[in-house]
Structure 1
Amino acid sequence: MAHTVNIVNAFVDGDQGGNPAGVVLEADALSAQEKQRIAQLVGLSETAFVSRSQVAGVKLEFFTPTRQIAHCGHATIAAFALLAQRGLVRGPESSKETIDGLRRIVLRGEAAFMEQLAPSYVDEADFAPGVSGARILASLGLDPAQVAAPPCVVGTGNRFVLVHLRTEALLAGLAPDMAEIAAVSVAFGAIGYYVFATTGGEFAASARMFAPHYGIEEEAATGMAAGPLACYLHDRLGVSQPRLLIRQGAWMSPPSPSRIVVELQFDDAGRIEGLYAGGAARLASTVSLM
C-alpha cells in the first residue's frame, strides 16, 4: 500500500528557507513500526502522523528517523498549516493530542502557533552527575571567554541545553562533537543543544540546533527550542517584549534561514505562565512511499 507524504517547510521567512517536515494524513491504520519505517525512508528530522482524536482537533505523533518523540515544533506547524490550507481544520483555534498530553493551537491565515508550558530552568549547580559547563563548551569547540553566560537547561515541554555566545559570528565557527552532544543531551533528558547569540536588529536572537541523539545533526528551525530561548531572554537577559522573533538555519550548510515567532504570556505577577511559538509554512512537494 502506498503512503502519501507531504513535505512542508515550516517557519519559512517569506517564500524562502524554513525547516522541512513530513506530514502523513489519515494515519489511523498505521502501526508504530510502520510510522517509524516511513519516517526513516523520508529521512527528514521529523515526520508527523495525523490521526483522528476523541479529545482534540487531531492526534499527532512525531517520529525522527530513529525514534518517536513527544513533541515537535516545526512538524506541528507544518501539519496544522497543511490541514488549514485543505480545510480540514478551521480557525481561529484547534488543538493537538500527543503522547505527552494536549496542547492548544492558534491558526492565523497561513501561520500556526502551538502552546507551550511555563519554563523550568536547571543551572550548573544542579547539573546531572558527570556533566559540567566546561564539558558542554568543549563539545562545541568553545572556551569560556566565548560565552556570555554559563550553559543552562531550559524546558517548556521539551528540554534543551542553551548556550549563549558572545557574538553572532561565533555561530559560524562552531565545531560540534556530535557524540559528546548526544551523551550530554541524554544525561539531561534533553532533545539537544540550542546555541544562540543575541542580535541588534529585527530578530532577538540567532540560533543553531544540534540533536544527534535523535538522529538530527542540525536543523533549520526548532519551535520547541525557540520557546525556551524566548523565556531565557526575558527571565535572564531582561528582554521585555512579549513577542520575540528567533532566526535559525542561517549558519547551516547550505543555509535555510527560518523565522520563528514566540509570544509570551504572563500572570498577574509578571511571571511567564505559558507561550505560543509559531510561524508560516508552505507545501514544498509530495512523495509516495510503499
Structure 2
Amino acid sequence: MTEVMRYAAFTTTPTGGNPAGVVLDARELSNAEMLAIAAELGYSETAFLHPTDERQYQIQYFSPLSEVAFCGHATIAASIALGEQIGPGTVNLATQAGPVPVEIAADPTGGLIATLTSPPTSTRQASEEETRPALAALGWSADDVDPDYPAHVASAGNDHLVLAAASRGRLADLNYDFDVLGKIMTDLGWTTIHLFWPESPVVFHARNPFPPGGVVEDPATGAAAAAFTGYLRTLGRLKDGTVLTIHQGVDMGRPSLLTCSTIPGDSRVKVSGTAVPIQ
C-alpha cells in the first residue's frame, strides 16, 4: 500500500499555504499510477520520490491532469517530510528541469525550513499577441496592468506569464474564464500566470491561476516565485543577494509566505519556506 503524506507548504499552519501530496518512495509506481494518485488527491501537485543513493533522489511531480517538470511548493513539502525522517542537511533532487539541491535546517520556531536552489532562470518580453488574449480571458483591460513592470514570460523550470496589477484591488478581484485561459496557457506552454502587485521594491503580493493543472488558483507557487525573482533581476530591480518576500494565497484564504534571493554570478534562485503535515 503506497503511503501518501499530505503537507501544507510555505506556511506554519495546516489551514494555510499550498497543500501537496508526498510519496517518499515511489520506485514501484508507474507514471499512470502516480497520475491516478495525484488526481484522487486533488492537490495542485503531488511529489513522488525515487531514492537513488544516500540523500539523493529522482523526483517527479504530477498535477491532477498531467506531469509537471518542476514544482516549488511540492519540493518544499517533500523536503520537510524527508527532513523529519532523516534529519537536517542537504538533499539532492533530480528533476526533469535539472538538479535541485535543497538545504534543510532547523527553524527558530522548532520545526524545519527548506531552501531549494531552482533550475536556471530566464525571461523574455511577452508579445502583444500573447498578452492580449490572456488579458481578455482574465477580464483585465490595459489600464489594469502596471506599465512600470513589462509583461514577460519567465522560467525557472516551467514557463509563467508575469503580469503586474495596477492596484491591490485589481489583484484581489480575480474572476477569469477557466476554459479559455486554460487553452491559451496550454497552447503557449505556460504552467501558471504570475499576477503580482508591488507593496515595495522587495515585498510583493501574488496570485497564480493554474487551469492547465485543473486548479483555479495556486495558494503558493515556488517555481513561479523563482521565475519572478529572475525576472526582477533581469529588469535591474534586484541586486544579487537581495531577499524578496512574496505573499500569496491571502485572497483565497490560504495565506502563504515565500522568501526568495538571487545568487551572485548564477541565474538560479533560492526559495525558502516551511511546511507542516495536514492531518
| TM-score, normalising length: structure 1 | 0.86
Distance 1:266 1:117, change over 3 A: farther
CA distance in 1, matches of 2:185, 2:14: 33
Q: CA deviation at 1:16?
A: 5.5
How many residue pairs get aligned? The number is 271
Question: Is the Cα–Cα contact under 8 Å of residues 122 and 155 in structure 2 kept in the other structure?
Answer: yes
Q: CA deviation at 1:124?
A: 3.2
> Secondary structure of 1:139's match?
helix
Deviations 1:221-278 (A, max 9, x none): 00000011122233326244611111110111xx1000011121122xxxx5221112
CA distance in 1, matches of 2:167, 2:89: 39
Equivalent residue, structure 2, for 1:104 = 101
Match of 1:99, as an amino acid?
Answer: Q
Question: Is the Cα–Cα contact under 8 Å of residues 47 and 63 in structure 1 kept in the other structure?
Answer: yes
Aligned match for 1:276, one of 259, 270, 274 = 270
> Secondary structure of 1:52's match?
strand
Deviations 1:107-129 (A, max 9, x none): 1221111111343222134x7xx
Question: Is the Cα–Cα contact under 8 Å of residues 56 and 102 in structure 1 kept in the other structure?
Answer: no
Deviations 1:122-162 (A, max 9, x none): 2134x7xxx33222211111111111134220012211001
Question: Is the Cα–Cα contact under 8 Å of residues 56 and 97 in structure 1 kept in the other structure?
Answer: no
CA distance in 2, matches of 1:179, 1:266: 41
Question: Is the Cα–Cα contact under 8 Å of residues 98 and 119 in structure 2 kept in the other structure?
Answer: no
> Secondary structure of 1:259's match?
strand
> Secondary structure of 1:4's match?
coil
Structure 2: runs of 5 or more not aligned: 107-111
Equivalent residue, structure 2, for 1:34 = 33
Question: Is the Cα–Cα contact under 8 Å of residues 55 and 90 in structure 2 kept in the other structure?
Answer: no
Equivalent residue, structure 2, for 1:122 = 124
1:188 is the counterpart of 2:182? no
Match of 2:17, as an amino acid?
Answer: G
CA distance in 1, matches of 2:89, 2:6: 24
1:94 is the counterpart of 2:96? no
> Secondary structure of 1:251's match?
helix
Query: Runs of at least 4 residues of structure 1 off by over 4 A?
Result: 13-16
CA distance in 1, matches of 2:156, 2:3: 32
> Secondary structure of 2:139's match?
coil
Equivalent residue, structure 1, for 2:109 = none
> Secondary structure of 1:62's match?
strand
Distance 1:263 1:239, change over 3 A: closer
Alignment of 1:46-85 (within 5 A): 46-54=45-53, 57-85=56-84
Structure 1: runs of 5 or more not aligned: 286-290
Match of 1:245, as an amino acid?
Answer: T
Question: Is the Cα–Cα contact under 8 Å of residues 6 and 278 in structure 2 kept in the other structure?
Answer: yes
Please provide the CA RMSD for this pair. Answer: 2.1
